[in-house]
Structures are given as C-alpha cells and as structure tokens.
A and B are shown apart, each in its own frame.
Chain A
Amino acid sequence: MSKLILLFTITVGFPVFSQSDEVSACSYCTSLEDALVEPKRVKHLDLSAKGLKEVPKELSQFPFLESLDLSENFIYEINFKSLRLPSLEQLNLSKNPGFNTFSIDGINRSLPELAHLDLSNTNCLTVSPELAKCVNLKSLNLQNNSIQYLPNQLESLDKLTHLYLGNNQLKQLAFLEGIWNLKVLDISGNKDLSLNQVGVFFLLKDPLENLIISCDDYLAKGVPNVFEALQMETLTIKNCAVEGLNNRLARNKALKSVVFDEVTVENSKRFVDWANRMRNMERIVFKNMETPTLLDEITSVKVMEFENCTVTKKSELKDVKPRIQIIAKGTDIVDGNYIGNAKIADVENSSVQAYSSEILMSDEMINNQLSPISKQREEVQFVSGDAKTMIRTENTIFDIPSEAFLTQSGQIYTGEVKVVVKEYMDPLENALTGMPMVFRTDERNEVFSSAGMLDFRAYDDKGNELAPNPENIIQVEMNDLQPSQNSNFYTFDETTNNWEEAQAPVSSGIAERKKRILDSLNRLSAGQVTGFQQVPIYLDLAHKRSRKDPYELSISVYKGRRTSVRKIKDFTPIIYTSNADQQWIARGKRWKIDTMITDETKNLLKSIKKDTKRSQKRWEAGRKMNYYGFPRVIKKLQLSPNIENDNYTMSFEYRDTVHRIPVVPSFQGSIRRIQAKERSNFKVFQKAQKEAQKERDLVEKYEKTVLEEYAKVYRERRAQELAEFPDQEAASREYLRFGLSSFGLVNCDYFSRNVPDKYLALDSVGVDRDGQTIRVPLDVRNVYLDDNVFLASTSNKVPVFEKKRTIIFFLIAPFEIAIVKGWEQLKSGLFRPKVERVPISSVDSPSDIKRKILAVGNE
C-alpha cells in the first residue's frame, strides 16, 4: 500500500516540480540553443535569417515540432532522408536563393504531417514531382520564382486548398484539373498565362473562394464567360493598371468582394461606374495603392476597406454614404490627424470620426524621468584604438574600425579604450530600468515601440569619455525586435531629457556589398546559377580477395545511360550523362594493381567494398527502380595511360580524399599478344574520349544557349532586386544596421500609435493570493509585450488594449513588486486587482527580475 502511495505521489508530484524548469525552456523558440534546452517541448522554431548554409543536424531532436521557419538563409538543399519530424505541419523555406527544389526526395516520409510549405523567393524553375507525395499538403506557396511549368503529378494533392503561384512564368496549368479542393489560388503576375485558356479550370472548382489574378486584356475588354459562372466569393486583382473592369463580372452573383492590390486606376470615373454596376459586390478593398478619386460616388458596396493606402482626396470620405462602413488599416484617412490601424465603424452623418490618439501617461513618463527599480547590467570590454576590432554582445555586433575614437579635444585616440555597452531589448526590462520612451514634440507626446535600444560609451585610460570619429564610424548590427516595421533612429539628449531624431548614417559597406554580390553573380556560370547538374553513370570498384592474386581489381558499371547523350530537350535541370570516357574501363576488363599492396591499400579497398555494400543495400531497400541516383561511394573515377611508367593511373575520390593507384589490365599471354591487346584497348579509349568530347560539346552548347537564357533572367531579377533593396539597411528585416554617429543612448523605433480600447481605473487597494490587501500606488507601469512598449501611467487611468498581452506592475516596498497579469484579472476583480507579490533584491538585474515576474502564474 505504501508503495502505491509513493507511486501516486511521484506521478502527481512530478509535473508540479517539472514546471519549475519551464522558465528557461521555450515552446516558441527563435534560437537553436534555447530550443535544445527541452526539445520535447518545442512546437515552433524560428531559424530565419541566421545565415544557415545547411539544416542543423539537431533538428531531429524535436519530435513535437509543428512549425519550422528556415526562411532568409542560404540553404541549398535539405537531406530529408536523415531528417525525421513526425509532427511538423508548417515549413517555411522562402528566401533561400537557389534552393534546390529537386532535393526534396523523401519529404513525405520525413515530414508525414506537412500541411503548409513555403518555397517562395527561391528562384526555382520548377518543383520535384516528389512533392506530390505530401498528401496532407494544404497550402503551397511558390510565389516570386521563375517557374515555367509544374509537374502534372501535383494533381494528386487532394487536400491542397491554398496555392500561390504569383509572379512566375507559367504558361499552362494542366495539373489544376485534378485539384478539387482549391479555395485560394494566386496566378497573378504570370504574363504568359491567358485567363481565357485557364478559365475553364476554375469553373470546375466549386470550393474556390478567392482567385488572385493580374489584369490582361480579357479582364478589361471582356472577361471569359466562365467568370460569370464562377462560384468564388473574392476576386483579387493584383499589380496592374486598370481603367474600368468588364461589366460581365456584374453578372456573377457569387462574387461578394473585389480586392485591388497594388493597382493603378487610370480613369476614376470609369472605375466608379463599373463599381456601381456591381450590384452584388458588398466589399471593395484597396491595398498598397493610391486610391482613386470620386470614392464618394460609390454607392453599391457596404464596406470600403483601405490597407496601407494613400488616400488621394481625404475630404471625399466625409461624403461617403452613411451606410458604408470604412475600415482603415495603416492608412491615414483623416486630414490632419494620423490614425493608424483605426477601425471606423458606423460612420455617422456621412463623416468620418476618429478616436483621440493621445494616450494618458504619468508626468514622469512624459518627462523621461522615471526612477529605475533596477539597473541594467553593463558589459565592459577593452579594445585597442588603433586596430580594427569586433565586439559581440548578446544582441549586437559592433564593427569598430581603427581610429574610431576622438578625445574631447578632437584628436584621434589610439590607446586602450574601455567600451561600456548596455542593451535594452525587452519591454519588461525597459520598464524596470525606467528607460526614457517618450518623444515630445510641440503638439503631442509619442511613445516609442522599441525595435532595439542600446547605450554605447567609450572611455580612455584615464576615464575621460571619448567621442566618435565621423570619418571612421562604428558599424552596428542589432537584432530587430519589430522586423515588420520600419524603424527610425533617435539619440537621447541628456540635457533636455528628450529624444532627438537622427538621420541614421548609411552603413558604408552597402554599396560595396551590393556590387560584390552582383559581381559574384555575374561570375557564376549559367549552370551554377540555374542549379544545373550532370550526373554520370555509376562506376563501382571491387577488390577481388583472392590468395592467389590479391592484386586483381574489377570495375563494374551500374544500370544507367550507356549511350551518349545526343539531344537535350528544352530545359532540363539534371542530365544523366553516359560517362563515355570512363565506362570503357569496365567493359569486361579486369585490372591489376601495379605496385606493392600495402596495409593502407588493403584497408582502403576493404573499406570501399564495405561502404558500397552498405549503401547499395539501403538504396535498394528504399527504391528499386531508379538506378540513376545510385549512391556513389567512389567519385570521379579516372583512368589514364601513364606512358612513362608503362601502366595506367587510376584515380578516384573516396571520402573527400583523392587516391591514386597504378594499374595494368589483367591480360594473359605473350608480349606480342599483350601489346596487340593494349593497342586495341587504346583505340577503345580514344573512341570513348571522342564520344565524351561530343557529349561535352553538346552540354556546353546547351549551357551557352538554353541555360544562359534562364541564367540571364535570373541575373536580371537579382540585379533588379538588389537595386530596389533600400539603401538604409535599417529597413532590413532581420537586423538593424547603422553607423554609430554619436555615443550614448540610441533608440531604433517607430511610434506606437495604437489607440487604447478603453481606460480602466484601479482600486486603491488590491488583493494578493493569500487574501491580504495591498495598497496600489498612483504610479503603475504597464508593459505591452507584443509591441515592445511600456507605459507609466496613473493607476486611476490605465490604458487598456484588450487583445494584447500585458503586465502591470508597481512597487509596494523597496524590495517587493506586485504584478497584475492580463486584463481578465482586472475584469474579474471589478477593478480591484488580484496581484502577485514578487520579492526582489538589490543585486537583482532587470533580467533576473523579469524572470521572476514571468515565472509568476506558471508555478
């Protein structure tokens, strides 16, 4: 009985104790190190923009991983055979330039539950038919590639509902015939694709909800008849210029919503006429564009939505019919006042109303004079002033050129420099340290939503502060906490206690880097650019273990192309060549080693034999048909006559090492017979060489013509992308890159201009877990974790964002904090907050306190 009780105690107690470790482990991880703390707990792993060249081997340790983001890396291929992620549903491989989409063999076995696959922006030319084996695939994104055709095997993807094929070079969509559950289809930006030709496929797709197309003549002059009958709810027109659209669309009764994305309206009057004829259309959406004028004349729709648009005539919106609901996201629709992400519903009296954009906060917050609860830990390093060095902190890399520091008198300082860096990368830590977060202007007080903040100071050996040398500016690369937003740069003026807008110095290396990328791109051959591969037939080397003649070797050819390549059809990413110049070696000939067999040679041959057997066994167990892809244990097997030594030199690559063995053909008989045989053998060798040369010429010609065309397109695109890439690298998503033109506090932010949903007043007394009452002070700090922002406000008017994660905390004793987590607690407590006590000590750093705060409630 006692044993049973003990067992029960362990079973029940274990999860309770184990939860205490959950602080350090993460389920949504952005680094591999964090994820490996407790791999079984990890569900989402974001390894984007880490500069990866290959997939980390540790990935197989995450059995419950559901989503994996490998975007914006340099991954060329993934060996799915060695990867096993049984729960993975979402895989993002976008922006891996040159990713080999043919290297996905075994994806179905490796990722059996894969439902969402993103291969956009990889410059791929097609995808492997292997993809069709991913039977659970629901969403496939192949946008912004160079795809001309897709394999028909994809029609077996029965569960595919979302297919994005925008900005490719598709000519036909034959494989769509077999996909029946498609809900969203994007075929915009495919110039060679005629809507008239592909329209019939859509007709058959009953579940199609959203079709994304770009304009062509048919859409303007007369859409195909099938568009009248299509049962789709939304039609998205993307990336083109229109005057007005065809009236035939008005006959489509199912069409409820039309979205215009990056569209230029050339004739507003015709456009409005068309919109008013669309009687069934309930919603018109403008995205990423300049809106047409005469919007007030549109009467047919119920909802008018603007998303990241520039409204040409804002005054018109006042005259929009009152029953029309206007929704503006990221769009300034009001004259004079900025309203970001504002939802304006129930427009009254034909005018647009906006909430006040001011957020109430405490005076200390406004004056940037909040008292710190804890001090941020500083990192001290010593560098030489006259040498180029690099400093790496947790989130930032400082590339310090030589002679980067000036003394107070303006002279270059070359001695030892003490560098002190403080990083402010977390809203909770910012709130604890009382970081200045308000940017005061004459009209209003803006709160920063920090994308990253740092305090960089340098001192000479006597402790005097140093200034930056404008000629040799320190380049900074900092993790971007708000990558979806463009950041501005501000420096903190300690005399006025206010931030000053600073022009972020452009990183000096950008132009050079761009040039280097372009140069390297142009230097690559067409084959390298397009990922073209030549696979020769497989030659196998066997060592005959015989006591009589241990010198004997035999070489055999495996199944594969024996006849030389005579013609290459159109574009082919892989060519299986006949390997003509070497397969003569194996034509019924045995070879003898023409040197002493050392232990080394013996071991080498034994090891080759073992590896060959092993790999063949594995291969044959997996797939029995295709011998082209036979595993090659030895590579680059060459055999050429060595006249000087009167034998042949056999060289091959095995385990990345080139081995050379002198050999002779194992002919028997007199010298007359042997010499005659050698002559005829040599003729075969010469013939094979000629054949191989022909094959090489053919491939070379193919590379110069067909592949070069593909490569040209690729290079042009890449050059264009590079040219369009903003010079200010601060806009770069993964890192903020800037030059440090002044020392001290530097902030990389945009303004948090979200209007609070409402304000709450906290009771002056709260209740802790034990039911004891706690006095709530007037000053409280609210941390909004999603926006990386914090506000210090009075407790009787706390701004509330209902859909955002929040933590409110206040000091109840010199070494004790009380926290309120989430709005739910406030609601349930009827403004009398339920608080949790967090004891702190004077030596606690902000990150220590943060850990304690986050641990509360998880216990």
Chain B
Amino acid sequence: MNRLIALFGLLMCCLYSVAQVRVFNGSVQELIEAKDSVQPIEVYPASDDPYPFLEEGMDELVHIFMSETKDIAGKHPDELEESKNLMLIAQLATTAWKGTQYANAKKWRALTKHFQRAFNRSTSKFNYTKEFSFRIKLVNNKGKRFYCDRKAGISSLDLYEGRKPKGLTKEEKEELPDPIPLAYFTETDLLKQFVRELKRNRVLIDLKRGRYACVGMSIELDERTVHKNRIPTARVVVILGARRLRDLRIKKQEVEPARIN
C-alpha cells in the first residue's frame, strides 16, 4: 500500500513538473521579444538600513543586486547591461517553478535547457547564458532560536527571539517583558549574501574579469515562509549572458565568405 502511495506521489510530482514546464514555455512563447533590447543598469547603492521587504517588496532589492553586479564587473570595458529578455525569463522562471527545484542543483541543471530554448527564440548580442538560483534570508536571527507569535502584535513579522513561553498562567504572562522581535537584514547584509552566492556559483571571477555582458534577475518572496515559524526567504534567479566571440577581432577581408564546396 505504501509503495502504491509512493508511486502515486511520484507520478503526481512528474505531472506537476511537466505542467510547470508547459506553463513556462507557453509564457515564453507569448512574451519574449524576437529582438533583445538592453539598457544600462541604474546605480542603486545599498545602505545600512534594514530592508523591510513586507512593505517595500522585492523590486528595490533587485535594483540593489543589479547595481552591485555592475559594480563588480564595472571595471571592464565590456560593461554589464540589463537584458530585457533575460529579466523576463528570470521572472517567468521564479513564477513557474516553485518548490524544491531551486534547492536541488541537479534538478536545476535539468531546467537550464528550457532557458536555452526560450532564449533561442530571440536574437541578442550574446550567446552564452549561465543560470543559477538560490534563496536568501531576509530576517536576521543572529543564529539564535526564534519563535512565531501571531498574537503578540509587536512585530509585523510575528517573529521573536528566544523560546516561546509555554505553560504560563495569566499573571505570569502579564509580568513577562515584551518579546524582542527579529530584525530585518540590512541592505548591506543582503548584498553580502548575494555576493556569497555569486562566489558559490563560480561566476564572481568571470564577472570581475568582464566576461559577462548582460544580466537578468528576479527575486520573489517565498510566501510560505512568512508569518510562520520560519525565517522568511526569497527565491532569486540570476541569468548572466556572455559573448562567446568576445575576443574575436575580424578584419573585413577575413569575414569574406569562403569559396566553393
């Protein structure tokens, strides 16, 4: 019986996965533009203030990350630019694939071919893409225990330091000091997380050396981690585009088509 249930579960997973691919491909077909357009990345310096993601959403964070990415690669003449199509694909990827795909590297690698095919639908100035995804923590628990208390009403996140007091009488409860709410990560901290992920995905050196030409990024808050006994996280999909023929310098006569066959 257990086996049957397991098999059924696997089948459902597969169907779910196929459905996700279809959703992604269908959206790409409709939305992607035949000719990619690029635009310069705006400078958006990160501050030391906490980043209240519940109020501000994720757009600002995207700008901060993009700005940082440009800073890393900015020393090189082949400056990093924002690609509209890459942004779109990243956005579709974050909405289409939910669940465990982001955590599992193997599963993620299997998805990259769909990115590539989506990308083949348009023409752009680069032809190599590197896609990776990760999660970032949005709230700082400083490595300590925390708990969720929706009734306390002090923090909008409902997350507080320490253990949740249990088995207290009414009086004891009244005597208790106010719980210390968990603080948002500051923008700088979030940036550090981002850079660490870049390093982990082995793109930092290439980025520094100016090997990448375009970038697209999407950040989506994982709603399942908010107001629960979890640290709120965001799913980040980064797609970097690079020019394969970056180092080629062609004189005019060399481009002339070759002769007969």
Enumerate chain A interface residues (CB-CB to B < 8 A): 534, 536, 538-539, 579, 581-582, 594-596, 632, 634-641, 643-647, 651-652, 664, 670-672, 674-675, 678-679, 682, 686, 689, 692, 696
Contacts and interface: CB of A to CB of B under 8 A. Distances in A.
B247 A536 contact: no
A651 B212 CA distance: 29
Contacts of A686: 254
A640 B247 CA distance: 15
B226 to A, nearest CB: 36
B248 interface: yes
Nearest to A648: B245
Contacts of B206: 670-672
Contact of A634 (B121, B243, B258, B261): B261
B224 interface: no
Contacts of B261: 536, 538-539, 579, 582, 632, 634-638, 652
Contacts of A645: 123-125, 127
* Pairs of residues from A and B, 4 with the lowest C-beta to C-beta distance, nearest first: A581-B258, A646-B127, A671-B242, A637-B261
Contact of A674 (B123, B124, B128, B255): B128
Nearest to B261: A637
Nearest to A634: B261
B212 A643 contact: no
B168 interface: no
Q: Is the interface of A mostly helix, strand, loop or mixed?
A: mixed
Contact of B255 (A596, A635, A640, A652): A640
A682 B245 CA distance: 9
A582 B258 contact: yes
Given A670-B202, A672-B211, A678 B257 contact: no
Contact of B117 (A596, A637, A641): A596
Nearest to B205: A672
B78 to A, nearest CB: 11
A351 B202 CA distance: 118
Contacts of B124: 645-646
B128 A638 contact: no
Interface in B234-261: 242-248, 250, 254-261
B130 to A, nearest CB: 7
Given A581-B259, A670-B206, A641 B212 contact: no
A493 B56 CA distance: 113
Interface residues of B, number: 32
Interface in B168-192: none
B257 A638 contact: yes
Contacts of A637: 261
B104 interface: no
A581 B248 CA distance: 17
B120 interface: yes
A689 B124 CA distance: 27
Contacts of A641: 245, 248, 250, 255
5 contacts: A632-B261, A641-B245, A647-B245, A671-B128, A689-B258
Given A636-B261, A645-B127, A678-B247, A671 B120 contact: no
B130 A671 contact: yes
A635 B259 CA distance: 10
A643 B243 CA distance: 9
Given A635-B261, A638-B257, A640-B257, A664 B127 contact: yes
Given A632-B261, A682-B248, A675 B211 contact: yes
Nearest to A537: B261
Contact of B243 (A534, A536, A635, A646): A646
A675 B212 CA distance: 11
B255 A638 contact: no
B134 interface: no
Contact of A644 (B125, B128, B254, B260): B125
A117 B35 CA distance: 63
Contacts of A679: 247-248
Nearest to A664: B127
A692 B123 CA distance: 31
Given A647-B244, A652-B261, 8 more contacts: A596-B120, A639-B258, A640-B255, A645-B125, A651-B257, A671-B128, A674-B244, A678-B244
